[in-house]
Amino acid sequence: MSRHDDRGDRDVRAQANVVGVALLIGVTVVALGTLTASIGAVVEEDAARADARRVADGIDTALEPVERTGDHRGSVAFTDGRLYAVDRQVRILNESGVVRTVDADALVFEAGDRRVTFLGGAIVRGQPPGARMRTPPPITASRNDGALVVGVATLGDVTTRVSGGGRVTLRTRVEHERTALGDGTYRVAIETATPRPWRTYFERTGATVTERDLDGDGVASVVARYPGERTAWLVRHDLNAEVAA
């Protein structure tokens, strides 16, 4: 009877060992699967971050609205994502209301949660609310009163939408036009989906900043009110851009 009990104990222990090994294998497989998924997510995140950095650098080099005149050709490369244009307006207002409305439009790149936007000559990286201004706009104002120069880069009739990956060619034919707006108290309104970096930029230049949807299209404008009486100019940098995959 004792020998039979010993044999039974050994069978139970053997079965327990088998079950233990199976559980260990199962846990290992699950752990490896989780690790693989985590590594994949990290790789995708790194690729999206690298794409956003390359696109920001490429746009900054290809679209230099202030520095260039005439024909130019540059390129933007990315492994995945989409590049497209959206309607955006820049407005200049004085004490009487809107003085000028410029159809600046914006060139937007998105890859996952990464985003790069070229608007009015500025480059903004990131999604709201954590977006940051990489390249400031060509807007210059004296600290208290005096002069205000509102430089606005316009894309032109860009309708191309590029998805996937590859190299995109950006062709521009840059023209400049300067218009005197006279003396007055001025505000500058930038229509944008990423208001925070614009607020920060304008506040650093001494402006008082609010947000308003000026045309009722659902996209708010960051409105910067500059103190004091000023002599203002609008300087358009028309890119006449073409986007070709």
Tell me the pLDDT tens digit for each residue of 22-49.
556 655 555 555 444 444 434 445 666 7
pLDDT tens, position by position, 70-101: 999 999 999 999 999 999 999 999 999 999 99
* Confidence at 109, pLDDT banded by 50, 70, 90: very high
Mean pLDDT over 136-158 rounds to: 94
Rounded to the nearest integer, the mean pLDDT of the chain is 87
Residues 127-141 have a mean pLDDT of 95
Q: What are phi and psi of 39, to 5 degrees?
A: -65, -40
pLDDT at 176 over 60: yes
